[in-house]
Amino acid sequence: MAGDSFSSEDWRRFISSLGENPDRPGLSDTPARLGRAWAHWTSGYQQDPAEILKTFEDGAEEYNELIVVRGIPVYSHCEHHLAPFFGTATVGYVPDGRIVGLSKLTRLVDCFAKRLQVQERLTSQIANAMMFHLRPKAVGVVVRCRHMCMESRGIRTPGEETVTSAMLGELQPNLGMRTEFLALARE
């Protein structure tokens, strides 16, 4: 895993560079914990969206309406500062003869969130992966996140939420379908 490539000594040097003593009691186990934490937070690099989005046809033969999952947790890290950003995603699609297990949509969001990211790319990656692997009639993704790089440093604006969206396939030209998706995506 990505975080595993840093040795405990690397993390010890990082702690020392902050002006701390990595040997004091409260920090003695921190280098190992940092390695495990960053391995988890960047585990999306080891996940394959194609494996996540295995589809099946049973149950989708006649279904041609939106399928939407709201409130999917998003926990990621900004590639500019390595600061966390977090929020929720709404993912929807209109199948074209094949559906995917609903939990797979949550796993897909997690796959891309567990990489160093910017929210705009995260949103596009989710939508593009669904379009490519599911081949649906339409895909919509809305991501709402708070960014610690804005809340805890720089402009310091607690509570601001950034909203990004991606609409692919029939959601682009079909205003009625787009309006329905956005209404369903409201939390």
Q: Does domain 49-185 have CATH number 3.30.1130.10?
A: yes
Closest CA to 53 of 116, 103, 13: 103
CATH 3.30.1130.10 placement within the chain: 49-185
Q: What is the CA radius of gyration of the chain?
A: 19
Backbone dihedral region of 71: left (phi > 0), alpha (psi from -120 to 50 degrees) or beta? left
Annotated active-site positions, please? 78-81, 119, 147, 149
Average pLDDT by stretches of 10, the chain with 187 residues = 69 95 95 94 96 83 90 97 97 93 97 98 98 97 96 87 97 96 91
